[in-house]
Amino acid sequence: MSKLRVLHIVPWFPNPKNNIEGIFILEHLKGLNKYCQNKVLHIQFGKSKNETDKISTLEVDRVTLKPILNKWIFKEKKTTQFITNYLSKNQDNYDLVIFHITYPNAINITKLVSKFSALKFCLMEHWSAYHAQFNLPKGNKGRQRIENIFNNDVPLFTVSNALGEDIKQFIGNTNKPYTIIPNCINENEFNYKEKANSNEFTFTSINNWSSMKNPFVLINALAILIKKHSNFKLVLAGDGQLMPQMKSLVNELNLSNSVQFLGRIQKNDVVNVLHHSNVYCQSSNYETFSVICLEALATGTPVLATNIGGMRDFINKENGRLIDTLEIEDWVSNMENIYLNYNNFNKRKISTNCIDKFNSTTVGELYYKQLQKIVHD
């Protein structure tokens, strides 16, 4: 059986300057490799040189476009022109074209479908910008152009139910169908390891620290809990714009001995940090999916997270807790509760259930079956 020939058009993808940019797309493609002959077209804006690369056996064409002005309307026109020309020259090499993170690359999708009738197209969305509606008011011309990406019959995949519903609300079409293809984990790296006995009980959070990630809830909650549970420890990994304020608050609350800042860590270090954590915490204002929460579960680490977005799809009472608010008192209560009931969690089962459902092979097979339907429709 010949493999499906798939062109993946992406604006984010691991590259020499940033090896974790769009890594969730790479993990999806690894799962598809068994079934598809995958080619990646990575379209960037700026001054980089065009180049051909290879990542995990995937052939990647990196193209840098230089619009006349650094405005989105000109970026849209530039990508439209380039992709149309690219498909005109290469359409015979592919059965299917997938636009990942659809704006701006898929801005002309309806015309592409009409022009290249021998090809099948689909949209794969990961971006949380739809939750904030791109911060554009209804009726804005730029917003209308983004809405039109989805006002057609092109199949839409999203990584979570929350994102699918956000897109429906954004475009004003409650009947817009979508199929969930969840993010996946690298099960060879993120897997179960028994927690070592320790007098310390460690809560961990790993993020690029922006206001969306809301770390101050965790720091303030710890300040209350530490008075009763002196063995509690909070590990914060990652960097970001809030780091100075985070460190200042820790000093102000006299928590320097109870909060550890690890700074930016590499992906292979994330596994080690999770293995040495009792509970992973994600006190975000919003998450489209949250791969880091999934990776925590894969290591057998229970998760405390805000009851929002994509985390509702896989966090439950068997593997953690979802907290309805970002009130400090609610986090204090839930952090203490998970500590007092910690031995009731079957960490090995948490890991097994997560890996069984979200490993790259299982997700890759699910993805492929959906692509088959599109190609043979």
Sorting pLDDT into bands at 50, 70 and 90, what band is 110?
Answer: very high
pLDDT tens figures, 363-375 = 999 999 999 999 9
* Dihedral angle, C-alpha 145, 149, 152, 155, nearest 10 °: -170
Architecture of domain 4-184+360-375: 3-Layer(aba) Sandwich (3.40)
User: Do 288 and 254 meet the contact criterion of CB atoms below 8 Å apart?
Assistant: no
**Cα end-to-end span (Å), the chain:** 18
CATH class entry, domain 201-357: alpha beta
Residue count of the chain, please give it.
377
Between the alpha carbon of residue 125 and those of residues 21, 78, 129, 145, 169, the distances in Å are 15, 21, 10, 16, 15
Span 328-342, mean pLDDT? Answer: 98
Q: How many CB atoms lie within 10 A of CB 341?
A: 11
Sorting pLDDT into bands at 50, 70 and 90, what band is 329?
Answer: very high
Q: Residue 186's closest CA among 367, 9, 363?
A: 363
pLDDT tens figures, 189-219 = 999 999 988 899 999 999 999 999 999 999 9
In the chain, what are the domain boundaries?
A: 4-184+360-375, 201-357
Query: DSSP string covering 101-137, please?
Result: S-TTTTTTHHHHHHH-TTSEEEEEE--GGGTTGGG--
User: Do 265 and 324 meet the contact criterion of CB atoms below 8 Å apart?
Assistant: no
Assess whether pLDDT exceeds 70 at residue 300: yes
Cβ-Cβ contacts under 8 Å for 107 (sequence gap 6 or more): 76, 79, 80, 145, 146, 148, 149
Span 79-99, mean pLDDT? Answer: 97
Q: Residue 175's closest CA among 162, 183, 185, 165?
A: 165
Q: Write down the H helix ranges in 179-215.
A: none
